[in-house]
Each structure stands twice: as C-alpha cells, then as structure tokens.
Structure 1
Amino acid sequence: MKDTTAVVTGAAGGIGAAVAHALAARGATLALLDRDAERLDATAARLRQAGHRATAYPLDVTSSTEVDTVIDAVETQLGPVERLVNAAGVLRTGTVTAFTDEDWQTTFAVNTTGVFHVSRAVVRKMTPRRRGALVTIASNAATAARMDMAAYAASKAAASMFTKCLGLESAAHGIRCNIVAPGSTDTPMLTSLWADEDAARTASVEGVPHAFRVGIPLARVASPQNVADAVLFLLSDEAAHITMHHLTVDGGAALGA
C-alpha cells in the first residue's frame, strides 16, 4: 500500500482511527474524514508527528454534496484514491416501540446512506482506472438479532448488502468490495453503553441470558487493532481474489452467523 491514497471515514477515533494508523504503517497517504473536526485534526496531527502523510477533511457523510466535494479535493490534493474504508457510524439504542423517528432516520442516514454516498463517489473515480478496494465496517448485529438495537442492526445489514451489490457491479472494473463485521470492541461506542465498566465488560464476555445474548467464546472484548488487522488484509494484495466477502471479527460471539 506504499504511496497509495486511502480514504477512511469515521477516522476521528475508535475503529476508524485504528484503521488509519494501520494503513499509515503500510505507507499509505491518508485522507481522514469525520464530522468531529477537532478530534479528526488530533488524529491527523498524531499521524504526521509519527512521520506519516495524513490530511483531515471534516465532513458530514449524510450530505452527498459535501462528500462529492471532498472526494474531488482528495484526488486533486493527494492523488487517485485506491483504498476506502467506511468506518463512520452511530449507535442509537432502545426498543422499537419507544424509538423516535429522528433516532431511526439518523441511524440510517449515517450507517447506510453515508456508506452509499462515500462509496459511490469513490467508485466513480476508481472505475475508469480499473482498480481499487473498499471495506465497509458493519457489525455482527447485522446477522444476529439484538435487544434494543433494531435500528443499528438493520442499518448495518443494509450497508452490508449494499456493499456486496456494489462489489458485484464493480468486479468487472477490478474493484473489490468487502465487509468486516466486528462484535463488542473496546471503543467509545461500546463503552458509552456501560454504566459500570467492570460489570458491563463481564456481561459482554459472559453474555446476558435474559437479553438472549451469548458471550464471547474467546473470552475477551476485541481491540480496535483486531478489527483494523482484518480490514488491512481485505484491502491488501494478499486478498486480491476476495470480493463480496463478509468477515466477522467477534471472538465467536455470533456463533459463526
């Protein structure tokens, strides 16, 4: 990946930041996208301080106009985009009967429509060059039902199938599209659900029977780096004959679903 340009959404923290650091270590020039401008600038600054090439592009992935403008700028300023990671996401929880219209719409606007906007903009650039690879960060909730997570699970399932369909359409142009589906990962998204960190971490590992949730057979919560390693593989030349694949990284929590 040396001297190639990679776009990472949701790069201000969590899995997105871990992916950015992993790509930088492989020599990629990074375009970092996120709506949290302050944290995004901090991520870019840390990468530059470590000697890597990273530029922050604050934007809202729910705006197709902003996305198209930023991708044009990336190509002009940094070069042709050859890798994309869709890591931007939000989590709104609650029962279906109590869920608000705004929570539902925001969840899909970021987790599904945002993936569409960015993927469309980047694949339009990749197509005439007949090369490129992208990975969408989904969730094991896309294939295993979860209490209080209907909107999140549905949005990730939609993003997963969108990515597979895009992979089918783009295969003739040499573009590969894959999915990485994490389970419980030590990020702010997960820890925001924990009222008591020790008890909640134990529940994640051991399971919650009354919520119909099994534990994690490997007996630990994933690190963002665990997920980034899977992403890096699917973006790499080692995965040159893999497309439309759904790789679950959850320590066995979804029992292979």
Structure 2
Amino acid sequence: MSAGLDGRFALVTGAGRGIGAAVAAALVEEGARVLATDLDPAGVRSLAARYPGRVTARALDVTDAAAVDTLVDAAEQESGPLDIVVNVAGILRSSEVVDLTEEDWAATFAVNTNGVFHVSRAAARRMTERGAGSIVTVASNAAGVPRAGMAAYAASKAAAVMFTRCLGLEVAARGVRCNTVSPGSTLTDMQRALWNGDAEAAARRVVEGDLATHRTGIPLGRIAEPADVADAVVFLVSDRARHITMHDLYVDGGATLRA
C-alpha cells in the first residue's frame, strides 16, 4: 500500500549515508520531494544525482542553530512549506564513562540532542502556523536499555526521545505530529565501527547476544537493514499514522524485549 506522500516536501538530516540515506530514498519512492542534508555533502550529492529533480542536496551542521534556521527559511522560500522533517543526523563515540572525555560527551549531545532541538524547533515554528506537519526523530533502543561503553550516546538519544515527546504534546492541538523511531543494531558504518576483528563473527555475536556485555541478542535472528528503519519512518509521516503522536516505535527485532 502506498504511503501517499505525493507532492509533500521533506527535510532529512544525516542523509548522506546509512539510515538517513535510506529514509530520503524511501520518501522519494513514495512521491515526496526531499531536501537531503548532511555535514559532509558528498553523500547527499550522490543521492541528488540518483533522484534528479526529486532530491536537493545541501550541507548542514545541525549543531549550528543559525545555519538550521537559514536553511529552513531558504528551503521554504524556494520549494514551499515543509510537510515532513526527519532527524537522523547522529554520532557515536564509544567509551566507558571513567574514560569518557568532556569533548566526546559535549560533541555527542551537540549533534544527537541539540541538533534535534534546532531542527525540530525551526520546523515546528512554521508547521504550527499552518496547522499541519510531521516530525520524526530517529533515536535508538539504547535510549531505553543500558549499553556498556555507550553512556554518552544512550543518554543523548534518551534526551532526544523525551524532547520529541514533549514537543509532540505542545504542538498536537495545532495539527503537528511528533514521533520517534528507535532502531537496534543496523547495518551501517556506525555499527561496523563497533566491531573489532572478524566482521562475520561480530555480527553473529550481535544476533546471538553477549553475556559479557549483558546483551540479549536479537530474537528475530537478523541485524536490521537501513531500509527496515526507513519503512517505519515512512509509515509514521504518512496519513496512515494520522492518529499517532508522541510514540516511540522500536525497530530492533525484539532485542530489548521492550524492557
């Protein structure tokens, strides 16, 4: 069934690769026009070349509030009102807390939390005036379940989830829906960077679980593809989810046991 996004205009952050690129592509396939942004513009330029006339590529540092406002203003002047915003931009700097530097902590929150705030605020200001819009933040199942060596990442994603829910409460009466999608282990560069040595063995440990790090494994028996997460996003921004807001949709194959 089509998601019915024909003619809608979407902004996707972190669209240069991985989940962000998959989200942008999925939105285009459903008929949307997409403003694809990333700190490194190479990936979004490739996406724009793949979908000429459907994807516009722009460099964006989501930690820069002024740059976010400028881009959103320009986008709406050039291409019309934003109907959809998807926050995907994120970073992961793994470390046990006792070794975690202030710089890594601050950088993680600057992108994963402040970036979500900057982009969502800019979009919500305009969407509420029009009485319509959908904002989705891609978070992580680590926001709800402790992960060793990922305190900064997990805490920043938990903050992004609660921020998005609070925003959703504030703007619901003005026709704007705000939801989060929380993936588990997904085959992206970020995931592969966590693997040491044999990638096949590392992937098997993710699926089977690891008692040493208190991970339960993935009951469905596979690591997610970025498209699995993108499909969840497309559903939430579509009219099929018109009565869903402030929801956190886990896409993790049951890995957290929804604990």
Same fold (TM over 0.5): yes
What is the identity percentage for the equivalent residue pairs of Structure 1 and Structure 2?
A: 57
1:252 maps to amino acid: G
The residue aligned with 2:39 is 35
1:176 maps to amino acid: R
Deviation at 1:15, TM superposition (A): 0.4
Distance 2:11 2:65 in 1: 16
Deviation at 1:92, TM superposition (A): 0.4
Deviation at 1:114, TM superposition (A): 0.1
The residue aligned with 2:229 is 227
Distance 1:55 1:93 in 2: 32
2:35 maps to amino acid: A
Deviating more after overlay: 34-43 vs 163-172 = 34-43
The residue aligned with 1:203 is 205
Distance 2:14 2:23 in 1: 10
**CA-to-partner distance for each residue in 1:91-138, whole Å, 9 max, x for gaps?**
000100000111000000000000000000011111110000011000
So what's the TM-score if we normalise by structure 1?
A: 0.98
The residue aligned with 1:186 is 187
The residue aligned with 1:59 is 60
The residue aligned with 1:13 is 17
Distance 1:81 1:164 in 2: 20
Deviation at 1:185, TM superposition (A): 0.3
Distance 2:252 2:56 in 1: 31
The residue aligned with 1:84 is 85
Q: Does 1:255 align with 2:257?
A: yes
Distance 1:108 1:204 in 2: 26
Deviation at 1:59, TM superposition (A): 1.1
How many residue pairs get aligned? The number is 254
Distance 1:124 1:16 in 2: 23
The residue aligned with 1:145 is 146
Task: Report the 3-state secondary structure (helix = DSSP H, G, I; strand = E; otherwise coil) of the residue aligned with 2:90.
Answer: coil
Deviation at 1:38, TM superposition (A): 1.5
Distance 1:44 1:109 in 2: 27
Deviation at 1:242, TM superposition (A): 0.3
Q: Structure 1: which 4+ aligned runs deviate by more than 4 Å?
A: none
Is the contact between residue 186 and residue 224 of structure 1 (CA under 8 Å) also seen in structure 2?
yes
Deviation at 1:154, TM superposition (A): 0.2
Task: Report the 3-state secondary structure (helix = DSSP H, G, I; strand = E; otherwise coil) of the residue aligned with 1:214.
Answer: coil
Distance 1:78 1:199 in 2: 47
Distance 2:190 2:51 in 1: 22
The residue aligned with 1:157 is 158
Unpaired runs of 5+ residues, structure 2, are: none
Unpaired runs of 5+ residues, structure 1, are: none
2:120 maps to amino acid: S
The residue aligned with 1:240 is 242
- The 5 A counterparts of 1:107-186 are 107-186=108-187
Deviation at 1:181, TM superposition (A): 0.1
The residue aligned with 2:26 is 22
Task: Report the 3-state secondary structure (helix = DSSP H, G, I; strand = E; otherwise coil) of the residue aligned with 2:180.
Answer: strand
Is the contact between residue 29 and residue 78 of structure 1 (CA under 8 Å) also seen in structure 2?
no
Aligned Cα RMSD in Å?
0.7
Is the contact between residue 13 and residue 43 of structure 1 (CA under 8 Å) also seen in structure 2?
no
Distance 1:143 1:184 in 2: 14
2:129 maps to amino acid: P
